[in-house]
Amino acid sequence: MNFHIMTLFPELIDNAASTSILGRAIQSGIISVNAVDIRTYTENKHGRVDDYTYGGGAGMLMQAQPIYDCHQAILADIDARKAKDGSPKRDRIRTVYMTPQAPVFSQDKAEELANEEDVIFLCGHYEGVDERVLEEIVTDYISIGDYVLTGGELPALVCVDAIARLVPGVLGNEVSHETESFDDGLLEYPQYSRPEVWRGKEVPKILLSGHHANVEKWRHEQSLIRTKERRPDLYEAYMMRNGQGTN
């Protein structure tokens, strides 16, 4: 799977994507993360990519032209790759604009995007982006939460990480994302490793029993307790889905 990130700070993307699990997946060719510098595409002779907002107001806006040309260049690269591979011509390539003015990212959205061969992210800066280019290129608007960051790079990396780990081969251990938070809409149960007693705290006896069915039952109960306590919204939704409404 190929991630293309349109940004004014490509080094931020390259640094984050070169380490740990993402770095290893890139090295082994399972995914690619291609940070593309929007500034390269500006027609402004001083390298500017932003300007004042019509109608007034504080702050600068990213202009349409460099972003549009950057997007066109990425599409041309995708076309060239597909022609070389002999694979069919592309459908519309999903292009995501990272913005707090959008639905909040979720595991479902990560799963949906993990089915794509290419996904393009646009990272905004300054006070935002000229609306006309968004209308022209964007297929999906995603926020990572109800707070405002200085730019879209960290949000894009959050999405890339969550999507990439769903791509077969990236985690190595295929079962490890089957039994985790959100897969059935519940939070994960508590887990313990050695030693059996640490600072006087014992590992729950049932986990040492070797009785698989009882362990599974205990874990499910713990997931329910934890979800009810920490994310009552998810607990409610789970209970409704499982025919046990809480009212």
Which positions from 95 through 124 interact with ligand ADE, judged by CB under 6 A?
A: 98-100
Strand partners, 146: none
The residue within the footprint of ligand ADE, chosen from 12, 144, 160, 162 (CB under 6 A), is 144
Closer of 54 and 147 to ligand ADE (Cβ):
147
Nearer to ligand ADE, 97 or 189 (CB): 97
66 touches ligand ADE by CB under 6 A: no
Beta bridge partners of 204: none
Q: Is 149 one of the binding residues for ligand ADE (CB under 6 A)?
A: yes
Instruction: Tell which one of 29, 147, 168, 193 touches ligand ADE (CB under 6 A).
Output: 147
Pairing of strands 94-98, 140-142: parallel
Residue range at the interface with ligand ADE (CB under 6 A); choices 8-16, 137-145, 216-224, 230-238: 137-145
- With 0-12 / 13-18 / 19 or more C-beta atoms within 10 angstroms meaning exposed / middle / buried, residue 135 is exposed
Helical (H) or strand (E) element with 50: strand 50-52
Restricted to residues 155-184, the positions that interact with ligand ADE (CB under 6 A) are 155
CA distances from 217 to 214, 221, 231 (A): 5, 6, 20
DSSP single-letter state for residue 203: P
| Residues in touch with ligand ADE (CB under 6 A) | 98-100, 143-145, 147-149, 152, 155
